[in-house]
Amino acid sequence: MEKATFAGGCFWCMVTPFEEQPGIESIVSGYTGGHVDDPTYEQVKTGTTGHYEVVEITFDPSLFTYERLLELYWIQTDPTDDGGQFQDRGTQYAPAIFYHTEAQRVAAEKSRDDLAASGRFKDPIVTKILPADTFYPAEEYHQDFHKKNPIHYKEDRAISGRDAFIDVAWAEKV
């Protein structure tokens, strides 16, 4: 098993694209990259701890490759917006890929460079590629939020602008 860690705005919205894929063992919402030990959601959402909201995915690379995870990741984000994602604004919601191995770093950089060269976006790709840092699981009520609170999740996702962006920017992929 390997780990993959992705920041793409609200972590609630970053769970569902990955959860039904073969070889995905678990997806945990949490925080990484900051300077406060064991941060809370209330602390992270202020944008002062340096943490990103992330999902940490445990996966079997023989069933679902890291490169395939990267393909799914890009489709969930606006890689040209480093001020947050969709309605979620602030550095805690900025897009980033946290690599756990040198092979992941190389694959992430290649996928970013391929996306930039594709011409899909007129603005530069600003998604950071950073070494994995200490991961702190988010509070229990954030885990599988879409299952525990489906109405709230669907309403929040609908007004976020994420799906509208995905439908336009990635129409042939979704």
Kindly state the tokens that stand for 171.
Answer: 């129409």
Which one from 4, 10, 54, 132 is the annotated catalytic residue? 10
* Catalytic site includes residue 13: no
**Quick check: 51 and 63 in contact, CB under 8 A?**
no
Which 8-state DSSP code applies to residue 172? T
Kindly state the tokens that stand for 78.
Answer: 């606006």
**Hey, which residues does 129 pair with through a beta bridge?**
97
Kindly state the tokens that stand for 38.
Answer: 């064991």
Kindly state the tokens that stand for 115.
Answer: 């996306």
Cα–Cα distance between 94 and 85 in angstroms, integer?
6
Q: Catalytic positions, please?
A: 10
